[in-house]
Chains A and B, each alone.
Chain A
Amino acid sequence: MWEFLAMGGKAAYVWPSFLISAVAIGALVAWSYHRLRRAKEMLALLEEDKP
C-alpha cells in the first residue's frame, strides 16, 4: 500500500496531477449542473407569476 502511494518516488508529481484533474473536472460538472438547476428554478418562478 505504502509502496503504491509512493509511486516509485514520483508521488509528488503523479498524485497532484490526478488530483488537480479530478478537482477541476468535478468543479466543472458541479457548476454546470448548479447553473442548470438555478435556471430551471428562476424560470419556474417567472411562470408562476404569469397568469
Chain B
Amino acid sequence: MGGGRGTARQYDLTPHLASGQFPHRFGCVFKKVDQRIVTHAPTVLGQLHGLANPHRFMGFASAATPWCMALAGTLLIAGLYGALFAAPADYQQGDSARIMYVHVPAAWLAMAGYSGIVIASAIGLIFKHPLADTAAKSMALPGAVFTALALITGSLWGKPTWGTFWVWDARLTSVLVLLFLYVGYMAIWEAIEEPTRAARAAAILALVGAVNVPIIHYSVEWWSTLHQGTSVLRKDGPSMPWSMLWPLLSMAFAYQALFAGIVLVRMRSEILERRLRTRRLSLGEEAP
C-alpha cells in the first residue's frame, strides 16, 4: 500500500513541531492542516466523543483479543493434528486432499470478510457510527489476505487434481474478482486522507460492490458455461466422513477466531491512530 506522500498523515511532524521551524514543504502541509482544523475540528472532536464510549470498546477489545487468539491456537493445533494425521487421505485424490483444510476455511473467510465489511459499512453510513467505520476498515486487509490464500492454496490443490495451476472455473474467477474488489476498497481508504470522508466513500464503494457481487457471480457462471469450461468443481457428491469433517470444522473455527482477533487488534490500533491524529492536529494549532 504505497499511498500518497507529502501528506500530513504520512509525515511524522513531531520534530518540526518541537523546533518550531518548518521547511517549505511542510509549510504547505500546515496550511492545509490549519484549514482542516478550522473546518473539521468540531467533527473530529465530536467523533472521538461519539465513539460509543471508546474506552469501553478498547477495554473490551484488549480483554477479548487474548481469548480469541488462545481459542484460535487451540483449535489450530487440534485441526492441524486432525488434518495431517488423523484424517484419512481421500480415496480419489490421495494426500493432496489435505490442502482442503487450509483452503476451505480461507475461502469461507474471503466471503465472510466482505460481508462483514458491507454490514459494517451500512451501519456506518446509516447510523454514522465511527466504530463501524473502523471495523469495516480493519476487516479489509485480513479479508484480502484470506482471499489471496484461498486462491493460492486453491491453485496448489488444482495442480495435482486437475493437472494445472489455474482453470478459468466460475468459482475461481468469482473469487479473483472478489480479490479485486477488496483491492479497490483498500485503495480508497489509502487515497483519501481525511478519515471521516474516507469512511463514507469506502462505505459507498462497499455497498456498490455488494449489489454487484451477485451480478458478477451469475455472469461468471454464464460465461463459464458458454466456454464449456471443464466443470472440475462439482457440487460435492458424497457427504464427508466425520474423520475428515471434524478437522475441517476445527480449522474453520480456528481461522474465524484468528480473524476476529486480528480485526480487534487492528481496530484498536486504528482508534489509537485516530486519537494520535487529533492530538497532532491540535498540536499544530498551538505551534504557531
Contacts and interface: CB of A to CB of B under 8 A. Distances in A.
Nearest to B152: A20
Given A29-B258, A43-B275, A21 B95 contact: no
Contact of B160 (A4, A10, A18): A10
Contact of B145 (A28, A38, A46): A28
Given A13-B99, A13-B159, A14-B98, A36 B269 contact: yes
B89 A8 contact: yes
Given A29-B258, A35-B266, A46-B14, A21 B276 contact: no
Given A28-B142, A29-B262, A17 B276 contact: no
B268 interface: yes
A45 B49 CA distance: 22
A17 B107 CA distance: 13
Contacts of A36: 265-266, 268-269, 272
Given A7-B98, A8-B95, A39-B276, A20 B265 contact: no
Contacts of A32: 262, 265-266, 269
B50 interface: no
Nearest to A28: B145
Contacts of A39: 269, 272-273, 276
Interface in B244-288: 258, 261-262, 265-266, 268-269, 272-273, 275-276, 279-280, 283
B106 A21 contact: yes
User: Contact size class for A?
Assistant: 20 to 34
B154 to A, nearest CB: 9
B227 to A, nearest CB: 26
B203 interface: no
B272 A43 contact: yes
B280 A14 contact: no
B220 to A, nearest CB: 24
Contact of B99 (A4, A14, A28, A43): A14
B148 A24 contact: yes
Contacts of B179: none
A10 B96 contact: yes
Contacts of A28: 141-142, 145, 262
Nearest to B286: A50
B153 A46 contact: no
Contacts of B160: 10, 13
Given A17-B103, A32-B269, A24 B145 contact: yes
Interface of B: 14, 18, 84-85, 89, 94-96, 98-99, 102-103, 106, 141-142, 145, 148-149, 152-153, 156-157, 159-160, 258, 261-262, 265-266, 268-269, 272-273, 275-276, 279-280, 283
7 contacts: A7-B96, A10-B94, A13-B99, A29-B262, A39-B272, A40-B272, A43-B272
Given A9-B94, A32-B269, A46-B14, 6 more contacts: A13-B159, A14-B96, A14-B98, A14-B99, A20-B149, A24-B148
